[in-house]
Structure 1
Amino acid sequence: MAGVTSKVSLLPKEIGSLSRTVLHDRPGTLFVLGANGGMRVAPDADFPLFFGRNERDVHVCVGAGDTCVSRRQGLITRESSRWMLRNTGKLPIRFPGSRLVLGGDRAELPAGYTPLFVVSARQEHLLEVRIVVSASPPGAGAGPEAYEEQTQGRDLRELSPRERLVLVCLAQRYLRDDPQPQPLAWAQVAFELGELRPRERWSAKRAAHIVAKVRKRLSKEDGVPGLLEEEVPPPVGNALNHNLITDLLVTTTIVKADLRMLD
């Protein structure tokens, strides 16, 4: 209807991470974003939102290509004044931290930004959720054109520009939704950074040293577990860097939009 915003609308994947956006909309409006886009649902829409692996059977796709994820992994509905998450699949869904919502269980979604993770044996698949807290400012629209960038300083880890560059390069398979992501090999990190910044002397040893310093600092200053060799049972392999990347993703310290640094 002309002049009236739809109660349910699509979000293009180009929107970027919901962790770094201010959403001008009615309080209680739900935004959900997967790898291929998402949806906006008004609090009075009476619209059950399904998410899962099979893009044709759900409103928001998560875990495409990972057959461990259920075709319909979960459901978000409005009940009274609350948005409720229900796990309809077999895999657990993890809130930030260690809280798990198991198959058949339900949980209330908090206001604000919440990254959810479908925990597969292959990887954890990110589903971003944001519930609008404050009302729109006068004259603000409600569609994707009303999005503005912001920095969420509450949980972000402190990284220097050089550290961020190396870590985004190291974690790019995670940020690009690789179905079985692993940290990039040090030699590949050095090669890509050397191509990107040919005047700087990049080597595998230099890149590894920068990341090792970040792991030690976050372990000591922020209490992040699993970043030191003595905390991980052998064989260590990629576990230390995987744990670091997972923490940076959960805290939205690095997001998909950071991939533009590698362009």
Structure 2
Amino acid sequence: MGGTRVNARKYEHLRGGVTDPVPGSLFALALSQGITVPPAPGRELRFGRNRPQVDLCIGEDDLRVSRQTGVISHRDGGWQVANTGRLPIRLPGDQWLFPEHDPLPLVFGYTPMFVRGTRGREHVMEVYVIGPDGACPPALFDAVTQPPKRYWLTPDEKLVLVVLGQRYFAQEAFAQPLGRKQVAEEMTKLQPGEDWNEKKIDRTIAAVRLRLHQDGVPGMLKEELVEPIGNMLNHNLVQVLMSNSTLVPSDLKLLDGWD
């Protein structure tokens, strides 16, 4: 490996960067171990369950975790991670790295990696790659918090979308959007004087998706997805609007008599 073990207790996590960095070096942290590896061609960091034979141990007491889950190596001037185990490694943005995939380059900065074990357990390894200038990100304790980018919705659009995504706001397991027929029926109950048919529901939702697509949000158009699409377009829409707080659970109060 050619790395140096560091006191894991010194670093509660790596999200805020590391101290005394060497440009291009790799820091990795698990539950009870920490390692720093300077950049050099051929350097490797092996991680997995078998503590005596890996450089960083994760999932030590979990037989679902491979004895060697993966390898982070320095190639072509940067670090890359390869999956050498049986289970996929989950990365940010719901990206999955499988054993048959090519190694994935690691970007400068912070990257958490997750391996799912038995009974829903998830084992995490944090990685931080130091940038070429060797600098840590500055502390921003007193800076003004940047608000999320919320999207403007008409009152009708907001009500339709709350009806559409009510299962998500209620935090139901494996939530899915309501079907357009169900949305039309509930909208008719909420606004009995309006003609809320399925086509009008489709037009209302499609108009919001188009605005988000024009603003650069991916996954809003059918052409961007692979068949079968099912509810994926509306699922993506609800997820985006929840992630930036355009829609929040308290919006359920708009549904009069919602239980």
Q: Could you tell me how far apart the structure 2 residues matched to 1:133 and 1:109 are? A: 11
Counterpart check, 1:86 vs 2:27: no
Q: Could you tell me how far apart the structure 2 residues matched to 1:157 and 1:67 are? A: 42
Q: Could you tell me how far apart the structure 1 residues matched to 2:87 and 2:133 are? A: 35
Look up the match of 1:228. 169
Name the structure, 1 or 2, with higher relative contact order (CA <8 Å, separation 6+): 1
Counterpart check, 1:35 vs 2:31: yes
Cα distance 1:9–1:232, how it changes in 2: closer, same or farther (>3 A)? Answer: same
Q: Could you tell me how far apart the structure 2 residues matched to 1:39 and 1:112 are? A: 16
Contact 1:31 / 1:129 at 8 angstroms: preserved in 2? yes
Q: Could you tell me how far apart the structure 1 residues matched to 2:139 and 2:18 are? A: 7
Corresponding residue SS for 1:126 = strand
Cα distance 1:61–1:149, how it changes in 2: closer, same or farther (>3 A)? Answer: farther
| Percent identical residues | 30
- In the superposition, the TM-score normalised over structure 1's length comes to 0.51
1:203-233: CA deviation from partner (whole Å, max 9, x where unpaired):
xxxxxxxxxxxxxxxxx9xxxxx96336424
Counterpart check, 1:9 vs 2:4: yes
Contact 2:24 / 2:134 at 8 angstroms: preserved in 1? no
Quick one: which of 111, 114, 121 aligns to 1:117?
A: 114
How far 1:123 moved relative to its partner?
1.6
Look up the match of 1:186. none
Cα distance 1:152–1:113, how it changes in 2: closer, same or farther (>3 A)? Answer: farther
Contact 1:8 / 1:45 at 8 angstroms: preserved in 2? no
Quick one: which of 129, 132, 155 aligns to 2:130?
A: 132
Contact 2:81 / 2:104 at 8 angstroms: preserved in 1? yes
Look up the match of 1:175. none
Cα distance 1:32–1:229, how it changes in 2: closer, same or farther (>3 A)? Answer: same
Corresponding residue SS for 1:72 = coil
Contact 2:47 / 2:57 at 8 angstroms: preserved in 1? yes
Corresponding residue SS for 1:49 = strand
RMSD (Å) for aligned C-alpha atoms: 3.6
Corresponding residue SS for 1:19 = coil
- In the superposition, the TM-score normalised over structure 2's length comes to 0.51
Letter in 1 for 2:131: V
How far 1:38 moved relative to its partner?
1.9
Count the aligned residue pairs. Answer: 155
Cα distance 1:20–1:152, how it changes in 2: closer, same or farther (>3 A)? Answer: farther
How far 1:11 moved relative to its partner?
1.4
How far 1:152 moved relative to its partner?
9.1
Q: Could you tell me how far apart the structure 2 residues matched to 1:35 and 1:157 are? A: 31
Q: Which runs of structure 2 are paired with 1:173-192 in the superposition (5 Å)?
A: none
Letter in 2 for 1:111: F
In terms of Rg, which structure is larger?
2
Q: Could you tell me how far apart the structure 2 residues matched to 1:89 and 1:152 are? A: 40
Q: Could you tell me how far apart the structure 2 residues matched to 1:33 and 1:88 are? A: 19
Contact 1:74 / 1:85 at 8 angstroms: preserved in 2? yes
Q: Unaligned 5+ residue runs, structure 1? A: 1-6, 138-146, 159-219, 221-225, 235-246, 248-263
Q: Unaligned 5+ residue runs, structure 2? A: 148-161, 176-242, 244-259
Corresponding residue SS for 2:9 = helix
Cα distance 1:230–1:12, how it changes in 2: closer, same or farther (>3 A)? Answer: closer
Corresponding residue SS for 1:125 = strand
Q: Which runs of structure 2 are paired with 1:143-182 in the superposition (5 Å)?
A: 150=139
